[in-house]
Structure 1
Amino acid sequence: MLMLLMIGSQAQTYTPAPSNVEARHQFQDMKYGMFIHWGLSSTLGDGEWVMNNRNIKVEDYKRLLNVFNPVDFDAAKWVGAAKAAGMKYIVFITRHHDGFSNWDTKQSDWKITNTHYGKDVLKMLADECKKQGIKLGLYYSTLDWFRSDYPYETGRTGKGTGRTQKSNYASYLQFMKNQLTELLTNYGDIMSIWFDGHWDQTNPEGHADRSSRIDWKYEEIYSLIHKLQPQCMIGNNHHLTPFAGEDFQMFERDLPGENKSGLSFQTASDELPLETCETINGSWGYNITDRNYKTVTQVVQLLAGAAGRNANLLLNVGPMASGVIQAEFVDTLAAAGKWLEKYGESIYGTRGGPLTPQSWGVTTQKGQITYIHLFKQPAEGTILIPGSKLKVKQVRVLGQDTIVKFKVTKEGVLIETGNVQLAGPDTVIALELR
């Protein structure tokens, strides 16, 4: 069934193609993806914002073209790491805020094929994703600290990169359209375009007025994408209510409904798929001093927490400049993948369960089964799954022979958890109805 959407402040309507609606359902079923922040900035080992944070001039930053040489890049290892982690899709940084293109674009010389390495990593990654059965989404920055035609005068970042020429958004818009056409024409089926940078032209998050200082002309951009690949889902990390033409809503470093990061003041959509992006340590791009590694328990509970809020988890790794994903990341992801091998039925293909998130954990649901994810024992020793005249087929602990006591009441099914032995990062009770 087609959905007619009128979302946000934009007046136009958007009717997604049937293939797009189906792609949304598939996206929600996949639940778990790998974000990969990597590029020229990785050579400095100080995160992907290093150009802005150190006020590096464009002319100085250009020297990195002679340094970046990821001879150890192996698309099969990247995709294999995602697959071993239980991830179903990858979102790759095609171009971050430093404007450097990780593919053989014809629109600029500021690209990976003009380094000593000289190869189109996106082509290799796209081919390997297809080979291993992993969907591919593409991150694309609308913000640019490098180009002078980007409206840097009204932007909040990139002030120290030495640009003096007057900006020209018409030129920059055409540049973006041309690049997006390349990405959606030369690299096979693309699951999604993941935009970032809108916030550069607004007041900071939390301000009452978050209106943009420029007209990004999203209608033109989004229409182009949906014309080239109707199934391709569009998301925009603007930290606002979704705009018309967008196919999923993202939350940066927050689960939907939370705002621990100070970035997520927006309300979660009831109509669009949701996705939380978070990183496996404290940085997005490679940071040589960042040892704030997430544990296996944190990763599993973050994934289950997202699923319990009807959202996907897009978990980031920042490979080293050499092209290698460091062992700490690979090992943690693989261990979380082992958990998914046993308990994946409670994550993949599910939607948010009948209970809002609780202090003890969350619930997910698929068909007649409600999955109760216990991160810790509930203080009361019981959990009530609401509903009237419910007929229980069985209550079981996944991976255990434990007998779970329960009783059906007027309010629902009351499950006793006292004799359930918590094991690992997330103990899952499955309540199956007839």
Structure 2
Amino acid sequence: MEKYGGVKGVNGIVAPELRLSAEQMQWWQDAKFGMFIHWGLYAIEGKGEWAMFNNKIPAEEYAKLADRFNPQYFDAAVWAKTAKDAGMKYMVLTARHHDGFALWNSPASYGHFTSFETAARRDFVKEYTNACRKAGLGVGIYYSPMDWRFPGYFAPTELPENAALMKKQGYGQVEELMKNYGKIDILWYDGGWLAHKGTDADAAWFWEPVRLNKMVRSYQPGVVISPRSGWEGDFQCNEGGGKIQGPIINTPWEKCLNLNQVSWGYSPTQNLMSLKEIIVMLVNTVDRGGNLLLNVGPDAQGVIPETHIARLKEVGDWLQKYGESIYGTRPGPFEPKDDVYGTVQKNNLIYVHLLAVGDTLQLPATGRKIVSCRQMHGSQLPFTQNENGIVIQLAQVKPDANVTTLVLETEKEN
């Protein structure tokens, strides 16, 4: 890092001048729930977004897939409606994954490897960003600076000229995405590491993420940026389907995972999360101060599988009923108790997400006076409050099949 001259923090290079303020981050922290979309050439074979690398497909051979990539049923408005019906507030599309294929008109693309200059002859990023805005959703763009087509990615010090071409492409493409598609709300970097080794921050000497993101801010001053460029970013990531446990995390963060647990990109093999698994993951994340970014993988024709749309609609139906306890909340005032409950708060209300319903619920002491307790869309519940804590009687609770929600009203401050 001495060569780069940056200060390496826990999550990347520290550059406070790049960080958004709490006010600028508020919309994102209020939103809570978004749709991730992994889509590209890899949807054709349906073997996952890492197929080119995992199956050792030569770049020249892989590039032939672009001749077959001509989605006839792609409709970004349908994607946006699916996200809205699921109760999602923003979307993030893989504009370009590690295989190097760009879903937009990208003059900076090495070898013109884009949807605009191959069979489809379309700028899917333009169609997508327009549809997001029309639907009132936050516009997110995923971009991976790494590119398997470049031998220099795997040996940047041994092949510096080739690696420099990849870096030039990366800067050029990020500039295109930030300059040519109107207001972008989220820039979701991935793949800042080199040769699949170390961390994104370890590769900061190469990518120079502070310089890169100063350029981004010149075009998009308020864009929320992920940490995967090597700079620490505006929020932190928790990737994959692992269980969320432990205390509240006092920094903006996001859990991203797959609806279809087989792969991020399209797969004909289906292993969908159940509705309850999604809701439990959502409340466990929100109760600890995070957002949930749930991924779908449309097929080669640009169609999100019907089973995915149906499951997401179930999530949306739950949020229609209980979204008040999710959107616009902040974690606390009580620390979560793993597999039992978590809480969020908004104005003078405390929402308790119950993962297990017993005879009573014991909550820690709080300086706020509780004036009423009820099950959300249910009956009032008896409770006592003293210096030792709060005890709520749950005999009258009718458990929800997914997560049972209680509402505690506190005395309003004068």
Tell me if TM exceeds 0.5. yes
Alignment match of 1:215 (pick from 201, 206, 217):
206
CA change 1:384–1:368 in 2 (3 A) is farther
Residues 181-201 of structure 1, C-alpha deviations (whole Å, 9 max, x = no match): 111111111111111113444
Asked if structure 2 preserves the Cα contact closer than 8 Å seen for 1:6 and 1:13, the reply is no
Matches within 5 A, 1:1-80: 7-8=9-10, 13-16=15-18, 21-80=22-81
Aligned equivalents of 1:6, 1:65: Cα separation in 2: 39
Aligned equivalents of 1:24, 1:389: Cα separation in 2: 28
Aligned equivalents of 1:332, 1:152: Cα separation in 2: 39
Secondary structure, counterpart of 2:206 in structure 1: coil
Q: Could you tell me how far 1:216 is from its partner in structure 2?
A: 2.2
Corresponding position: 1:296 with 2:296 = no
Secondary structure, counterpart of 1:372 in structure 2: strand
Asked if structure 2 preserves the Cα contact closer than 8 Å seen for 1:395 and 1:430, the reply is yes
Alignment match of 1:408 (pick from 375, 378, 385):
385
CA change 1:223–1:269 in 2 (3 A) is farther
Aligned equivalents of 2:65, 2:384: Cα separation in 1: 66
Matches within 5 A, 1:204-243: 211-212=202-203, 215-237=206-228, 243=231
Corresponding position: 1:188 with 2:199 = no
Q: Could you tell me how far 1:268 is from its partner in structure 2?
A: 8.5
Q: Could you tell me how far 1:304 is from its partner in structure 2?
A: 1.0
Asked if structure 1 preserves the Cα contact closer than 8 Å seen for 2:129 and 2:181, the reply is yes
CA change 1:132–1:63 in 2 (3 A) is same
Quick check: 193-202 or 60-69, which moved more? 193-202
Q: Could you tell me how far 1:221 is from its partner in structure 2?
A: 1.0
Matches within 5 A, 1:75-224: 75-108=76-109, 109-148=112-151, 150-153=152-155, 167-201=161-195, 203=197, 211-212=202-203, 215-224=206-215
Percent of aligned pairs sharing the same letter: 34
Asked if structure 2 preserves the Cα contact closer than 8 Å seen for 1:35 and 1:91, the reply is yes
Q: Unaligned stretches of 5+ in structure 1?
A: 156-163, 260-266
Q: Could you tell me how far 1:254 is from its partner in structure 2?
A: 5.3
Q: Could you tell me how far 1:173 is from its partner in structure 2?
A: 2.2
Letter in structure 2 aligned against 1:140: Y
Residues 360-387 of structure 1, C-alpha deviations (whole Å, 9 max, x = no match): 2322221221111112214xx3323333
Q: Could you tell me how far 1:22 is from its partner in structure 2?
A: 2.8
Corresponding position: 1:312 with 2:303 = no
Secondary structure, counterpart of 1:384 in structure 2: strand
Letter in structure 2 aligned against 1:225: V
Residues 254-288 of structure 1, C-alpha deviations (whole Å, 9 max, x = no match): 579659xxxxxxx9963x31100011012100011
Letter in structure 1 aligned against 2:355: F
Asked if structure 1 preserves the Cα contact closer than 8 Å seen for 2:185 and 2:222, the reply is yes
Give the TM-score of the pair, scaled to structure 1: 0.85
CA change 1:318–1:412 in 2 (3 A) is same
1:396 corresponds in structure 2 to 374
Alignment match of 1:384 (pick from 356, 362, 375):
362
Letter in structure 2 aligned against 1:184: M
Aligned equivalents of 2:253, 2:204: Cα separation in 1: 27
Letter in structure 2 aligned against 1:190: I
Aligned equivalents of 2:400, 2:212: Cα separation in 1: 48
CA change 1:388–1:114 in 2 (3 A) is closer
Asked if structure 2 preserves the Cα contact closer than 8 Å seen for 1:17 and 1:231, the reply is no
1:250 corresponds in structure 2 to 237
Aligned equivalents of 1:252, 1:284: Cα separation in 2: 11
Alignment match of 1:426 (pick from 399, 403, 407):
403
CA change 1:182–1:357 in 2 (3 A) is farther
Quick check: 210-219 or 28-37, which moved more? 210-219
2:314 corresponds in structure 1 to 335
Q: Could you tell me how far 1:165 is from its partner in structure 2?
A: 7.1
Asked if structure 2 preserves the Cα contact closer than 8 Å seen for 1:136 and 1:192, the reply is yes
2:266 corresponds in structure 1 to 286
Q: Could you tell me how far 1:36 is from its partner in structure 2?
A: 0.2
Aligned equivalents of 1:310, 1:326: Cα separation in 2: 31
Asked if structure 1 preserves the Cα contact closer than 8 Å seen for 2:37 and 2:92, the reply is yes
Q: Could you tell me how far 1:11 is from its partner in structure 2?
A: 6.7
Alignment match of 1:362 (pick from 315, 321, 342):
342
Q: Unaligned stretches of 5+ in structure 2?
A: 1-6
Q: Could you tell me how far 1:293 is from its partner in structure 2?
A: 0.7
Give the TM-score of the pair, scaled to structure 2: 0.89
CA change 1:225–1:357 in 2 (3 A) is farther
Asked if structure 2 preserves the Cα contact closer than 8 Å seen for 1:299 and 1:336, the reply is yes
Aligned equivalents of 2:322, 2:240: Cα separation in 1: 24
Aligned equivalents of 1:311, 1:12: Cα separation in 2: 21
Q: Could you tell me how far 1:167 is from its partner in structure 2?
A: 4.7
Asked if structure 1 preserves the Cα contact closer than 8 Å seen for 2:39 and 2:266, the reply is yes
Secondary structure, counterpart of 2:301 in structure 1: coil
